Structure 1
Amino acid sequence: MKKQLLFLFFLCSSFLLFSQNDDSLTFSKLDKSPLDVVMYRDTNKAAVARVIYSRPSKQDREIFGKLVPFNAVWRTGANEATEIAFYQDVKINNKLVKAGSYSLYTIPGEEEWKFILNTATTQSGLEYDPSKNLLTATMDLLPSPQKIESFSISFVEQQNGGLLFLGWDDTIASIAFTMVTP
C-alpha cells in the first residue's frame, strides 16, 4: 500500500511540476473573431450545405472600402479561409458544383460583389491561389435595414435550392443555388 501511495505522490508531483514549467499546456484566450457554423437543410431535413467561418466584429470601424478593401480578394470572414461544403451537387450561376468542400472568397465592390469557390481547403484565409478557382459569380447586393455588428452568414430556403447571405455593417450580399436532382 505504501508503494502505491508513494507512486501516486510522485505521479501527481511530476504532473504539477511539468504543468507549471510547460507553457504549451496553457489554453489560448477566446478568439476575437469566434468560429461559427451555419447549416442548410432541405425540406426533408437532409443536409445540403454547411459553412464554417470566423465572425469579426465591426467595433466602430469602417468596414467595406477601408478594413475590407474594395475590389480585392477577401477571405470572407477572419482567420482561416471560410469553408463551404455541399452535400449534394448544386448549380450556382448555371454552373455545376459537385458535392464536396471548397473555400469561399469574395471580392467586395461598391456596386457588386464577386463570389469565388476555390478548390483549396484547410488553409489560412490569406493563402489564396486563383489558379484553384472553380467558380466566380456576381452576387446581389442590398443595404442592410440595420447595422450588423458581427459578420454573419445564413441560408434562406427557396424552391429547389436556397440563397446564401453574407452580411456585415450596412451591406448584405447574396447568391442563389439550386439543387441538382439525379
Structure 2
Amino acid sequence: MRRFLLFVGIGVVVIILLFVGIDTMNTRYQKSFSPEEAVEFEQGKLEIEVHYNRPYKKGRVIFGGLVPFGKVWRTGANEATTFSTNKDIMIEGKELKAGTYSLWTIPELETWTIIFNREHGQWGVNSEGEPNRDPQKDVLTIQVHAVQQQREFEQLTIEFSKMKEEAEMVLLWDKTLVAIPFQLKQ
C-alpha cells in the first residue's frame, strides 16, 4: 500500500511540474516577441500606469501595413493595453474618471482616434483576429495628430513627458509619434 501511495504521489508531482513547465514555456514563447512593459507617471497626487506589450518593427511596414489605417488597434500586442489613473484627468478637454481602462486606437496617416474603454484585462483580439473591444463600453474618444518623423523606433514605445501643469502620453513606433495631452482635473 505504501509503495502504491508513493507512486501516486510521485505521479501527481510529475504531472504538476509538467503543467507548470508547459505553461511557463508557453507564456515565454508567446510574449518573447512582444515583451511586457509597464510605464508610470507621477505628478503631485496624480499617478498613471500603462501596461502594454511591445512588438518590434522587424523590417515591416507598420502603419498602413501591419496595423491598417482606419481600423481599431489594441495599441500593442497580446493583451489589450491598459491605462490606469488614480485621479480624474482631462484629456483634450474631456474628463476621464479615475479607474482602469483598455486603450484602443484607430491610426490614420495624420490623425489618430484614441479610445478609452471600461472593459480591461481581455486579450487584444478575438478568435477571428478582430479587436476584442465592446464599443458600448467606450467611455472617452478623442482625436490627436500623428507626426511623421525621420527617426525610426524599432519597438513600440509608450512614454510620458511633463510640461508644467500638463503632460503627454507619447506613443512611438516606426516613424510615427502620437502625443496625448492630459492634466489633473481641477
What number of residue pairs does the alignment pair up? Answer: 174
**Unaligned stretches of 5+ residues in structure 1:** none
Report what 1:157 is aligned to.
162
12, 15, 19: which one pairs with 1:18?
A: 15
Secondary structure of the residue aligned to 2:71 is coil
**Distance (whole Å) between structure 2 residues aligned to residue 110 and residue 25 of structure 1:** 44
Q: Which has the larger radius of gyration?
A: 1
Tell me the alpha carbon deviations over residues 21-65 of structure 1, each in whole angstroms, 9 at most, x when there is no partner. x445322234211110000011x4x45211000001000111000
Report what 2:128 is aligned to.
none
**Distance (whole Å) between structure 1 residues aligned to residue 9 and residue 107 of structure 2:** 55
User: Where do residues 40-119 of structure 1 align in structure 2 (5 Å cutoff)?
Assistant: 40-42=41-43, 44=44, 46-119=45-118
116, 120, 143: which one pairs with 1:138?
A: 143
Does residue 166 of structure 1 match 2:148? no
After superposing on structure 2, the runs of 4+ consecutive aligned residues of structure 1 that deviate more than 3 Å are: 9-20, 22-25
Question: CA 1:145–1:41 in 2, change beyond 3 Å: closer, same or farther?
Answer: farther
Answer whether contact 1:165 1:174 (CA < 8 A) is retained.
yes
Question: CA 1:16–1:122 in 2, change beyond 3 Å: closer, same or farther?
Answer: closer
Report what 2:39 is aligned to.
38
**Distance (whole Å) between structure 1 residues aligned to residue 115 and residue 161 of structure 2:** 19
Cα offset for 1:145?
Answer: 3.6
Which amino acid is the alignment partner of residue 127 of structure 1? Answer: N
Quote the RMSD (CA, aligned, Å).
Answer: 2.4
**Distance (whole Å) between structure 1 residues aligned to residue 13 and residue 119 of structure 2:** 42
Percent identity between matched residues is 34
**Unaligned stretches of 5+ residues in structure 2:** 125-130
Secondary structure of the residue aligned to 2:15 is helix
Which amino acid is the alignment partner of residue 147 of structure 1? Answer: E
Question: CA 1:17–1:50 in 2, change beyond 3 Å: closer, same or farther?
Answer: closer
TM-score by length of 1: 0.85
**Distance (whole Å) between structure 2 residues aligned to residue 123 and residue 10 of structure 1:** 40
